[in-house]
A and B are shown apart, each in its own frame.
Chain A
Amino acid sequence: MLLGRTANGLYWMHRYIERAENIARLVDTGLHVALTSSSDQADSWESVLQSAGAAVAFRNRHGDVDPASAINFMLRDTANGSSVLQCFETARSNGRMVRTALTREVWENLNTAWMNLKAALANPVEEKKLPEVLSLIKRESALIRGAFVGTMLRDERFDFARLGTFIERADNTARILDVKYYVLLPATSWVGSSLDNQQWESILRSVSAHRSYRWVYDVQYKPANIIDFLVLNPRMPRSLAFCATNIVDNLAYLERDYATRHACHDTADSMLAGLKSTTAADIIDRGLHEFLIDCISGNNKLGNEIAESYRFY
């Protein structure tokens, strides 16, 4: 037996940890692009802000984009609910609320992460300290995840937490692709342009996939391959298909445990079926942007259905 509020807390704790990690990766990408690209720095940070879904909030608060304030906004601004610091703050208060549903190790790693990041992000981060802080963020979330996977009983608590992780991750991957969808279109992308190579590299880097891409596909970046990798490849841990498979699996465990099937089960199943029956070429034909918008809204709908079916509120 599990309280609805506890399921909700587990779900959001994991959404926010996932989000923090993705933001850190995006900032890392921005940094990398800024160092290697000849293009306008403000443009590249604008696009990082967009990938993080923070561009509008940033503009309302700061106006024009400059690297230092973009980084500050994404890492530690308390007015930005999705800054890394606020993500950990929210993850930790959710964790504190549900600490009876967590193993001691998960809770202690979460609490330690929160303390360490609060200290590391207490002041604006100097540029030379940035790589260190970004790897701290990734390390802290890896420790929480490691403790979670290593110590949690595989029961409903585990399932609700995993649902949070994969719904957030699918949303993040879809958004990252959507911001860059135009560089993946056939008309604008011809193999060999160094600018495009950089853009594609930055997409892959922001999901930590620039190395594994080469294990699976050509050394040369091709739009269809990148779409295949990030959307359809069932073995790529941040692809939409991988997320959907995990969501379906975790929901199936819940269905079995409760002996009840809800609307969210059908939504998840058809989401996965849709991804399995399509190809990168289909997606490009249909329009990558339209496809991704559908994915994002389908994912949202699924999240709401889960919350309703399992009485989160």
Chain B
Amino acid sequence: MTFFDEMRQDETTRWPYQDFDRWFSRQMPDDLQRKMSDAEQVFRRTGITFNVYGEAEAAERLIPFDIVPRILSGAEWRRLAQGIEQRVVALNAFLDDIYNRQEIVKAGRIPVELISRNEAFLPEMLGVRPPGGVYTHIIGTDIVRTGENDFFVLEDNARTPSGVSYMLENRETMMQLFPELFREIRVRPVENYPQLLRRSLETVAPPACDGPPTVAVLTPGIYNSAYFEHAFLADQMGCELVEGSDLRIENGRVAMRTTAGYKPIDVLYRRVDDDFLDPLTFRPDSALGVAGIMDVYRAGGITIANAPGTGIADDKAIYSYMPEIVEFYTGRKAILQNVPTWRCSEADSLAYVLEHLSSLVVKEVHGSGGYGMLVGPAASKKEREAFAAKLKARPGNYIAQPTLALSTCPILTGKGLAPRHVDLRPFVLVSDQVRIVPGGLTRVALKEGSLVVNSSQGGGTKDTWVLDD
């Protein structure tokens, strides 16, 4: 398999990287290595860590940071942004349709079982229209590249996408380490994301809000893997970071316990999964949510972002229908391509997948974070056989995709630059309008040849530049 390298093609530097390359060739390798370890110190001191599930005593780990930026030209970005905007508009229209009239099902464009038998579908949301008509307010669209003009959407994270704090901290760190670089090269800023997020959330305040909206971030607490991000965003937005134990229902509103009594919240940016949101409606054993919040929500007393039930739009089985979904709601062909996907629930596809396991990537329909997936080409025969048994037992739980020739971008190693595979997660805000900061989180597989970029599987991150051209 040959891979598209974003920096170098046949000994020449692709033009978005030319200014950087010129700067880079003037640097002393030792200085760069020292900057690398400076960066690590900064991350450690700041506590920019994530918790790895299943490790002893909830160890906090750093996500490795690579100092070589991932660079996109303004033109490349504009096309991506258009495609993403089209997609998130379609996702919201789809959610509104699914929880109300279900036209797309009636039109026979997607099978009814895919909705009715889907764990991510919440019957509790039927007939509910969230404030502003927005269901998924914050989306992280995972994009991979395989060639000069070949971008694919790998996943639409429409539930509670994370990683935006790394996008911001990576930029901050780069600006501290190499201020001169930002004077030489014009990079579009991402720093205003928290303000945009706050404005976006305030715009969808519920009918019960009479005055400037009170926004809060709901976190499961300090042991959650993304706690750093929750605190970071609350801090940057200037709003409270609340836990379930701070909240209760008072006078038909969700209220937080302050030192001067209970104060109502208008917009809750929740980083708690649907299941844990309301013990009265969903998992009764949940202590992470608020008993009764769903009743308040349905009565227009609070905006929950993202709305409960948005998982129906980003599950991997629905994903395979995204080209149809985009066309159905926007009347146009999707600008960004989907990765070809076999739905193992279909007998023909299952047979194909079982036969070609060694060349495919198989994922759980509801999985995330790189857990529970099989990368065929990298797996041993034994691993493939074990996975085939799981596949046959619950085919509907899986989809398969070809192993993509992910583009590479260089990282700095002890021996200089070396190409590693990358993906890209831009962050999208939806309310009265769609807002996308130019850039996103570039995740990079640090192991030579590895195609898995997830931080839980040893991936790192890079600052992502969109050039102001």
Contact = CB atoms under 8 A, between A and B. Distances in A.
A160 B259 CA distance: 10
A156 B259 contact: yes
B46 A3 contact: no
Contacts of B240: 1, 3, 6, 100
B144 to A, nearest CB: 34
Interface in A280-313: 310-311
Interface residues of A, number: 24
Contacts of B231: 96, 99-100
A6 B234 CA distance: 13
Interface in B201-260: 221-222, 227, 231, 234-235, 240-243, 245-246, 256-260
A258 B235 contact: no
Interface residues of B, number: 23
B123 interface: no
B8 interface: no
Contact of A107 (B47, B258, B261): B47
Contact of B246 (A4, A93, A160): A4
Contact of B45 (A3, A6, A100, A108): A108
Contacts of B246: 3-5
Contacts of A160: 259
Contacts of A107: 46-47
A272 interface: no
Contacts of A2: 258-259
Nearest to A311: B257
A260 to B, nearest CB: 7
A107 B228 CA distance: 12
Nearest to B243: A5
A5 B245 contact: yes
B44 interface: yes
Contacts of A4: 246, 257-259
Interface in A1-41: 1-7
Contacts of A260: 260
Given A97-B222, A99-B231, A3 B258 contact: yes
Given A3-B246, A100-B231, A112 B45 contact: yes
Given A1-B263, A5-B245, A108-B45, A93 B257 contact: no
A100 B241 contact: yes
Contacts of A7: 259
Interface in A132-172: 156, 160
A250 interface: no
- What is the predominant secondary structure among interface residues of chain A facing chain B? helix
A33 to B, nearest CB: 37
A90 B256 CA distance: 24
B259 A258 contact: yes
A115 interface: yes
A100 B236 CA distance: 9
Contact of A96 (B44, B222, B235): B222
Nearest to A156: B259
Point out which of A5, A6, A100 has the most chain B C-beta atoms below 10 A from its C-beta.
A100
Nearest to B263: A1
B234 A100 contact: yes
B36 to A, nearest CB: 19
A2 B222 CA distance: 18
B43 to A, nearest CB: 11
A86 interface: no
B227 to A, nearest CB: 8
B263 A108 contact: no
Contacts of B46: 104, 107-108, 111
Contacts of B242: 3
Interface string B41-56: 0001111000000000
A310 B260 CA distance: 7
Interface string A66-79: 00000000000000
A260 B259 CA distance: 11
B48 to A, nearest CB: 10
A2 B258 CA distance: 5
Given A97-B222, A111-B47, 17 more contacts: A1-B240, A3-B246, A3-B256, A3-B257, A3-B259, A6-B240, A7-B259, A96-B231, A99-B47, A100-B231, A100-B234, A100-B241, A107-B47, A108-B45, A111-B46, A156-B259, A310-B259
22 contacts: A1-B260, A1-B263, A3-B256, A3-B257, A3-B258, A4-B258, A5-B257, A6-B240, A96-B47, A96-B227, A97-B222, A100-B231, A100-B235, A107-B46, A108-B45, A111-B46, A115-B45, A160-B259, A258-B260, A310-B259, A311-B259, A311-B261
**Top 9 closest A-B pairs, CB basis?**
A310-B259, A100-B235, A4-B257, A111-B47, A2-B259, A7-B259, A99-B231, A100-B234, A108-B45
